[in-house]
């Protein structure tokens, strides 16, 4: 999938079908000139459903589907025949899709499971035929109910990537490189900020045919929570990760300071981020000899008292097995 095809935010207008009208038919057949009422009910209007599909990773297929409409219910007819129900409309979405009312911003529901089906817009009820209105004092009612109209609404579909581990760091911290060596994913890698413009997912193969999913989130800058840089367009994807992996290059002037900025931006966006498991990874450690690494470790032991940290090098393939072990342990404790 190319970056241009990754769409995680769409606005669509949906309308369910209106109900069919009831029939005012009076029974007629040979030798029965004045039979009673036998008008059938109208069929219900079609519903609009959202269905979870784990084979989808983007909302790109809805990017140009601005108006989605279900079918109208059929009218009732004689001999108490009920009209056909309107055709339902099924919209398939990736797991992790959040549905919001465009007018109020209220979250209506979320799709998180394969095959999960939720009604987005309910079809109108069909009207009752005149057969229902007969009585001892009104034996030939010549009226019936019209069908109820369908519902119309503007909704926002917002995809929050479902992954076990989220890679968090400043632009050009080496997240895409780490993802490429841990998984078979092939993200775009280059030596300039904001190489990654959309989240990349990769599956980490672990021991005994087990695996977990890791997401490379586009780089954070100061002020991201207020919408600077790529702002909310990527921060929402971190909400779904159970574990956050903070990546800080070893050549950063202030490793603890950079980590604090990252945590601060996540907290401003959503304070619940503090409840997630966290680990700090110091990347590009192949630039250090043993003496420099020992000195830095003494400093970091003081700075990171409550957060586990470790040294790795994606290029030199150092510490990657230990990183997988620690992540697996954090995810399964």
pLDDT tens digits, one per residue of 106-124: 999 999 899 999 999 999 9
Residue 90 has pLDDT above 90, yes or no: yes
- In terms of domains, do 217 and 113 share one? no
Last-in-domain residue among 113, 133, 159: 159
Query: What is the Cα–Cα distance from 113 to 168, expressed in whole angstroms?
Result: 26
Residue 126 and residue 171 in one domain: no
For residue 162, the tally of other CB atoms under 10 A from its CB is: 18
Instruction: Indicate the residue among 159, 177, 193 that finishes a domain.
Output: 159
- Whether residue 196 is annotated as binding a ligand: the answer is yes
Is 183 marked as a binding-site residue?
Answer: no
172 is in an annotated binding site: yes
Asked whether residue 124 is marked as a ligand-binding residue, the answer is no
| Pair (178, 308) in one structural domain | yes
Please say if the pLDDT value at position 224 is more than 60: no
Are 131 and 184 found together in one domain? no
**Overall average pLDDT of the 189-203 stretch:** 55
Q: Please give the Cα distance from 198 to 213 (Å, whole number).
A: 16
Residue 31: pLDDT band with limits 50, 70, 90: confident
CATH code of 119's domain: 2.70.210.12
218 is in an annotated binding site: yes
Contact 186, 216 (CB under 8 A): no
pLDDT for 185:
53
pLDDT band at 294, cuts 50/70/90? confident
Range in 5-9, 13-17, 47-51, 211-215 with the lowest mean pLDDT = 5-9
326 shares a domain with 180: yes
- What is the token pair recorded at 174? 């080496």
Average pLDDT over residues 160-173: 79
For the chain, the maximum distance between any two Cα atoms, rounded to a whole number of angstroms, is: 110
pLDDT of residue 195: 44
- Give the domain-ending residue among 102, 133, 159: 159
Do 202 and 87 lie in one domain? The reply is no
Same domain, 199 and 224: yes
Is 314 annotated as ligand-binding?
Answer: yes
- Is there a binding annotation on residue 102? no
* 315 annotated to bind ligand: yes
The answer to whether residues 202 and 307 belong to one domain is yes
How many structural domains does the chain have?
Answer: 2
290 is known to lie in a ligand binding site: no
pLDDT higher than 80, residue 250: yes
**Is a pLDDT exceeding 70 seen at residue 281?**
yes
308 or 8, which is more confident: 308
Query: Is residue 1 pLDDT above 60, yes or no?
Result: no
Q: Which residues of 229-246 are buried (b: 16+ CB within 10 A; e: fewer)?
A: bbbebbbbbbbbbebbbb
Helix pair 290-303, 255-269: axis angle to 10 deg? 40
| Residue 216 among known ligand-binding residues | yes
Tell me the per-residue pLDDT of 314-325, one tens digit each, with 9 for 90 and over: 888 888 889 888
Q: Which domain holds residue 118?
A: 1-159
Percentage of the chain surpassing pLDDT 70? 86
Same domain, 83 and 179: no
Residues 280, 304 contacting (CB under 8 angstroms): yes
Residue 283 annotated in ligand binding: yes
Query: Strand pairing of 152-159 and 165-168?
Result: unpaired
- The three-state DSSP-derived secondary structure of the chain is CCHHHCCCEEEEEEECCCCCCCCCCECCECCECCCCECCCCCCCCCCEEEEECCCCCCCHHHCCCCEEECCCCCCCECCCECCCCCCCEEEEECCCEEEEECCCCCEEEEECCCCCEEEEECCCCCCCCHHHHCCCCCCCCCCCCCCCCCCEEEEEEEECCCCCEEEECCCCCCHHHHHHHHCCCCCCCCCCCCCCCCCEEEEEECHHHCEEEEEECCCCCCCHHHCCCCCHHHHHHHCCCCEEEEEEECCCCCHHHHHHHHHHHHHHHCHHHHHCEEEEEEECHHHCCHHHHHHHHHHHHHHCCCCCEEECECCCCECHHHHHHHHHHHHHC
The pLDDT assigned to 22 comes to: 93
Measured CA distances, 297 to 18, 168, 256, 277, 294 (Å): 68, 21, 12, 22, 5
* pLDDT, position 159: 85
Mean pLDDT of 285-303: 84
Residue 188: pLDDT over 70: no
Q: Does residue 190 carry a pLDDT above 50?
A: no
pLDDT at 102 over 50: yes
As beta bridge partners, residue 101 has 155
187 and 72 co-located in one domain:
no
Q: What is the pLDDT of residue 127?
A: 94
170 is in an annotated binding site: yes
Same domain, 169 and 45: no
Per-residue pLDDT band for 187 (boundaries 50, 70, 90) equals very low
Confidence grade of residue 270 (pLDDT, cut at 50, 70, 90): confident
Residues near 33 by beta carbon (within 8 Å), at least 6 away in sequence: none
Q: Specify the higher pLDDT residue, 227 or 144.
A: 144
pLDDT band at 5 (very low <50, low <70, confident <90, very high): low
More confident residue, 267 or 85: 85
- Judged against a pLDDT cut of 80, whether residue 247 lies above it is answered with yes
- Give yes or no for residue 304 having a pLDDT over 80: yes
Assessment of whether the complete model's pTM goes beyond 0.85? no
Average pLDDT, the chain: 83
What's the pLDDT score for residue 233?
55
Same domain, 50 and 196: no
User: Does residue 196 register a pLDDT over 50?
Assistant: no
CATH number at residue 231: 3.40.50.300
198 is in an annotated binding site: yes
């Amino acid at each position: 999938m190319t970056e241009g095809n990754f769409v995680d935010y769409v606005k669509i207008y949906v309308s369910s079908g209106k109900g069919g009208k009831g029939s005012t038919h009076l029974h007629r057949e040979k030798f029965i000139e004045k039979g009673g009422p036998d008008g059938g009910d109208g069929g219900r209007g079609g519903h609009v459903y959202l269905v979870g599909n784990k084979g989808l990773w983007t909302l790109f297929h809805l990017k140009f589907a601005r108006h989605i409409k279900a079918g109208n219910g059929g009218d009732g007819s004689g001999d108490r025949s009920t009209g056909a129900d309107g055709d339902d409309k099924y919209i398939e979405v990736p797991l992790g899709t959040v549905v919001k009312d465009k007018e109020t911003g209220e979250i209506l529901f979320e799709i998180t499971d394969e095959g999960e089906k939720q009604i987005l817009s309910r079809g109108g009820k069909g009207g009752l035929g005149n057969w229902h209105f007969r009585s001892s004092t009104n034996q030939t009612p010549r009226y019936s109910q019209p069908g109820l109209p369908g519902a119309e609404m503007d909704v926002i579909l917002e995809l929050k990537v479902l992954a076990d581990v989220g890679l968090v760091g400043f632009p050009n911290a080496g997240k895409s490189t780490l993802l490429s060596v841990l998984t078979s994913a092939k993200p775009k890698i280059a030596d300039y900020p904001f190489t990654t413009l959309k989240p990349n997912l990769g599956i980490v193969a672990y021991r005994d045919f087990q695996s977990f999913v890791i997401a490379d989130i586009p780089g954070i800058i100061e002020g991201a929570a207020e919408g600077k840089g790529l702002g909310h367009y990527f921060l929402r994807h971190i909400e779904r990760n159970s574990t956050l992996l903070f990546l800080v290059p070893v050549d950063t002037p202030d490793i603890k300071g950079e980590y604090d900025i990252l945590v601060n931006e996540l907290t401003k966006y959503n304070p619940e981020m503090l409840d997630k498991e966290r680990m700090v990874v110091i990347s590009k450690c192949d630039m250090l000899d043993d003496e420099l690494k020992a000195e830095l470790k003494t400093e970091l032991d003081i700075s990171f008292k409550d957060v586990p940290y470790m040294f790795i090098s994606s290029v030199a393939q150092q510490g990657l097995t230990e990183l997988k072990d620690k992540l697996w342990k954090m995810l399964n404790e």
